[in-house]
A and B are shown apart, each in its own frame.
Chain A
């Protein structure tokens, strides 16, 4: 397994080279000159030329690409062009609020969805199953914006149960700021999660080994929890683990509406300000995140199903 992990980690090298190339082409070649935006509405032509020189935009394209590759492998992202802040510090400051919202919301929504899925799989074909499916589809059909606007107005403003917006890193004040966006996250996630988990569980329920277990006289609930769920875990692990890197990247809409100073808002600001170093850092970090969590999900397969060997 060690060999497998090392090999997968080595795969990161070509992946990062590819990602660096895509980022470089997208932001340096396609998006054009950022100096006018960076210098503001009164920028002079001379100042734009000087800034291009200072930012290294006059270097050959290959030399500029090498700079991107270097930062992708050293994780030294330098300073933001727009805010002049150190990017690693910006990311650290933004990651905490993003995780404060996304981590508990993600864990609760995953557990809740799994429980609901097992419940409806147990009562498959019955009224409650139909009701949950209709409820999930109806829930998914409503835009996230509608949930945010209504929940914020009703629960925070009308009922006053939560803060309308803002963020406090200290506990327990944090709860009153994070609870409402976290609830919205859960409501938004339950629909697609339950539909996916239910399908995966039902796929297993009709397998031969389940019929064997039934014929041996095992109870339906025991079959569901001990046998079906264990075998259904592989796609569930893939589905869940691969979402983890996006938790760090934050939830743009929720962060914006609830004034949570997370990474989602930071990335959007960088995009609007032609802040290439910040966009580059976020793109590289998310690709690394996806590679690492992809590897973790592979390792978890072996835990969920000992028949799987990583070679």
Chain B
């Protein structure tokens, strides 16, 4: 009896196993993991990295970042070349590539994707401004293009917006040429045109699919996804009508040696299929990678010590499978922000005392595996305005100095200072980090109270100025320090992105001057000045510039870390021979 039950159970298990899909060695498939669910495929709403990455597989913009060159370099994508800019720096003329087609779709007359025209770009930019759509990317164009805000305001209260209206700042010259006129110089404008928000969509597709447009992406991109369903797997196939686009033949020094130019000159995309599995939890992500069901993985925090030895070397077990480790410094900054509306934080010495009472070295070991960089100020390394030699005098842990500054602030040993409340996200690591901070400040007599919030609650408190302090991280939207310095610009105070409500007229004047300057020495000098000004003024307690660690399977070719990686996947390749050989080890 027992024997037959055991045999029956084994029979069932074998049935289960036989239902599992075997690895494919016939097609070049790239298996990726996204840690968050994708809401839909409308580029104007792609505000987070994960959505942006998915948009970049099916949609394209005028420009993209070079996949190999660092610092990040913009290169033409759907644009034939970089734009012609008028002498006053306000009018940009764009020439787009001829012969580019949208994906085949029932939205078009005969089901065949039609050719991309300059009208499509003007239409897509108007969609971004359409008040009925409330695009998350509107901030990119807000008050930037002549006539666009007026057009938007005209339709705020209307039933629908009229896309046929002429807008002075958006002008079609011919089918392949158009111009954009800016209100004032906007040096980051070309970056905006490389971001998913401005990716081009077809009017026919928007109208044909109407409310369902976000589930039927019709772009010009290297991959096709006929229908997006709210499942946890997205399967893209190579776009059969993709134009002639080739892998770059030059990169950074050393790229050739590391094999990153082996595919130079080959037509892209290099893989036939991309399969994206949405996996939220750390363990299944880690186990899937270990079973070679994922080709790239950001190492989950819980598995860091298993994967990386001494904070920098790959474990021998992973190395024996050919897995490679990439340590990638991020363009981001973590911080504790004071709410400068609170009279308590008008006291600069108090802010400085709090900053140097925090042992960042210990925090780095505890929370970032000692791989993060202590943030010297608001601009992270890798951006213009960051000066390597500059050391912030108020981030070096010094308990005696902190006590001294606190006494000078009028609160010797914390006497008379009320308890300070810090708002944070309802997340284990966030809580642990604040508890570490609170423990440090307790040593000089400052009492901290931690307030845990859901994400909406935290945002609500910050936008409504109901916080005393809060903690957060900011990642770059584009590679320009303006994106970070704006977080401390007075006119952007809550509900804007300056949640600290910090106002410093000197800083604001410099910001106004810098933001109309094109990239160059003059602008970088101003950025440096602002960066160092706030370092001493301590409007935030600066935290860290974090490093992300990625693992790649041995058969993945051409992977190089990109902060703005939405267009990167078309350049990746899979070596089927290596995959076949090494798969036996998994």
Residues of A within 8 A of B (CB): 31-34, 36-48, 50-51, 53-54, 79, 82-86, 90, 93-94, 97, 149, 152-153, 156-157, 160-167, 169, 172-176, 179, 256-261, 265-266, 269, 271-274
Contact = CB atoms under 8 A, between A and B. Distances in A.
State the 3 A-B residue pairs at the shortest beta-carbon distance, nearest first: A83-B39, A40-B47, A165-B284
Given A31-B456, A36-B459, A173-B21, A42 B287 contact: no
Given A33-B464, A164-B287, 13 more contacts: A37-B456, A39-B134, A53-B156, A83-B39, A84-B40, A86-B211, A152-B287, A166-B232, A167-B233, A259-B277, A260-B232, A261-B230, A266-B230
Interface string B128-167: 0001101010111010000000000000110000000000
B139 A34 contact: no
Contacts of A43: 136, 139, 463, 495-496
Given A33-B464, A161-B13, A265 B37 contact: yes
Interface stretch (B236-244, B288-296, B573-581): B288-296
B260 to A, nearest CB: 31
Given A43-B495, A179-B16, A259-B279, A165 B288 contact: yes
15 contacts: A40-B48, A44-B139, A48-B495, A50-B156, A51-B134, A53-B156, A83-B230, A84-B42, A84-B214, A85-B214, A85-B215, A86-B211, A172-B19, A175-B19, A261-B278
Interface in B431-474: 454-457, 459-460, 462-464, 474
A236 B160 CA distance: 56
Contacts of A93: 229-231
Nearest to A160: B17
Contact of B280 (A31, A156, A259): A259
Interface string B19-54: 111000000000000000101101001011000000
B202 to A, nearest CB: 18
Contacts of A175: 15-16, 19
Contact of A256 (B20, B48, B156, B280): B280
B232 A33 contact: no
Contacts of A32: 456-457, 460, 464
B230 A85 contact: yes
A153 B233 contact: no
B15 A44 contact: no
Contacts of B42: 84
A169 B232 CA distance: 11
A175 B459 CA distance: 42
Contacts of B497: 41-42
B80 interface: no
* Residue among A34, A48, A83 having the largest count of chain B Cβ atoms under 10 Å: A83
A152 B284 contact: yes
B81 interface: no
B284 A259 contact: yes
B283 interface: yes
A42 B290 CA distance: 37
A206 B233 CA distance: 55
B214 A176 contact: no
A83 B454 contact: no
A297 B364 CA distance: 57
B477 interface: yes
A84 B284 contact: no
Contacts, number: 161
A127 to B, nearest CB: 19
B110 interface: no
Contact of A44 (B47, B215, B496): B496
Given A82-B39, A161-B16, A175-B15, A47 B134 contact: yes
Interface string B210-229: 01001100000000000001
A72 to B, nearest CB: 22
A146 to B, nearest CB: 12
A259 B279 CA distance: 6
A254 to B, nearest CB: 11
Nearest to B12: A179
Contacts of A39: 134, 136
Interface string B415-440: 00000000000000000000000000
B211 A45 contact: no
Nearest to B157: A53
A152 B17 contact: no
Given A40-B47, A176-B17, A167 B460 contact: no
Nearest to B466: A32
A301 B284 CA distance: 44
Contacts of A54: 131-132, 134
B555 to A, nearest CB: 20
Contacts of A50: 131, 134, 156
B88 interface: no
Contact of A42 (B229, B232, B477): B477
A210 to B, nearest CB: 30
Given A32-B460, A161-B13, A172-B19, A269 B277 contact: no
Contacts of B17: 160-161, 176
Given A44-B142, A153-B283, A260-B232, A176 B20 contact: yes
Interface in B188-208: none
Nearest to A258: B284
B89 to A, nearest CB: 24
Interface string B272-288: 00000111110110011
B232 A176 contact: no
Given A50-B134, A156-B287, A176-B20, A257 B496 contact: no
A164 B284 contact: yes
Given A79-B211, A161-B17, A257-B284, A273 B456 contact: yes
A45 to B, nearest CB: 5
Given A33-B464, A259-B279, A167 B211 contact: no
B422 to A, nearest CB: 19
Contact of A153 (B39, B132, B287, B459): B287
Nearest to B37: A269
A172 B48 CA distance: 36
Given A45-B496, A157-B287, A164-B287, A173 B19 contact: yes
Given A36-B495, A152-B283, A161-B13, A47 B454 contact: no
Contacts of B156: 50, 53
Contacts of B215: 85
A34 B134 CA distance: 14
